[in-house]
Amino acid sequence: MGSKRKKLIITIVPLLIIIAAIFYQVPITRISSESITKLDKFGVLEIYPTKLGGREWFIDMNKPVEDPGFNPGSNITRQLDGSWQINGRLENGTYVGEVRMEVSKLPGSKEWKNVEMTGYAKIVPSNNPNDSLVWSIRGGRHNSTVPCEGTALKGEIDINGTVSWVKEIWHTGGYTNKRAETQVTEPIIGRWIGWKVVVYNMNNDTAVKMESYLDDRANNHWIKVTDLIDSGGWYANEPDPLFYGANCGKAKDHIITNGGPLAIFRSDNMTWNFRDLSVREIQPPLSP
């Protein structure tokens, strides 16, 4: 009788979980995958699964500049530990400290929309105390000649260990205040960390979910550090005449539900090493 009872329990419990998931609208995929750890090609933990047939991009750590989908934007140099170092770019023959490493949509592929974007970084100590690592998604070119292309959702971690999100509705007059701003760790200068941002649409493409994760000791132990939904009311800072002067046809609290041709690993005015960069098109969880 004891053996039969165990078999009955083993059969019934999963069925009850599925029924409860349907009744309470709990995403079954999240229930069934909570205890499963899936690693990417670098051995890095994936938070969400890649969409069936979705695009996955992983940096070629041996020859990154030969990747047609990757543009580091400036010279990168190989380090003894196998990582690469970047410290800015040339613009019209002049060095500027901006780092803009772009992963572009390939011909015939979809724009980056629902994505998980990951990378490891080590910031070289310098005299620039107010900078951030920023993984930016859902935008195109960011320059004054095409201001309306310059949309972005930006998951940031400052060098002092503070994380946040910023929305850019157009470039450069469509910036919002930071949201989900929290100090989650000690300063990150001079040590490896993993930084991961996740962006996906929800509620029938009427809202955007943003999450960020930190691997604070670069040991593949990821902790969620932000969890944010934009369903409206997150306004650009600029006064109306300036904001609407760009003629982008967007409200001041425009929700960026569209995809974009570029995913960008970026910073300003600092030198850093990087490795194991990736961008994956994910299968979002079901909306609540």
Pairing of strands 223-230, 207-215: antiparallel
Q: How far is CA 204 from CA 32, 48, 207, 257, 288, in A?
A: 23, 19, 8, 10, 11
pLDDT digits (tens, 9 = 90+) for 125-159: 876 667 899 999 999 999 889 999 999 999 999 99
**One domain, residues 16 and 135:** no
pLDDT of residue 130: 75
On average, the pLDDT of the chain sits at: 87
Same domain, 8 and 148: no
% of the chain with per-residue pLDDT over 70: 83
Q: What is the pLDDT of residues 63-90, one digit of tens each?
A: 999 999 999 998 999 999 999 999 876 6
What average pLDDT does the segment 87-111 reach? 83
Other CB atoms within a 10 A radius of the CB of residue 149 amount to 18
Confidence of residue 6 (pLDDT cuts 50, 70, 90): very low
* Residue 21 predicted with pLDDT over 90: no
Could you give the number of structural domains in the chain?
A: 2
Closest CA to 54 of 277, 257, 282: 282
How far is Cα 136 from Cα 134, in angstroms, rounded to an integer? 6
pLDDT at position 217 over 90? yes
- pLDDT tens digit sequence for 221-252: 999 999 999 999 999 999 999 999 999 999 99
The answer to the question of residue 286 being in a domain is: no
- Same domain as 59, residue 12: no
Q: Are residues 60 and 168 in the same domain?
A: yes
Co-location of 14 and 85 in the same domain: no
| Pair (224, 207) in one structural domain | yes
Same domain, 23 and 77: no
Instruction: Tell me what the mean pLDDT of segment 189-208 comes to.
Output: 97
User: Are residues 139 and 3 both part of a single domain?
Assistant: no
Same domain, 109 and 81: yes
Task: Quote the domain boundaries for residue 21.
Answer: 1-32
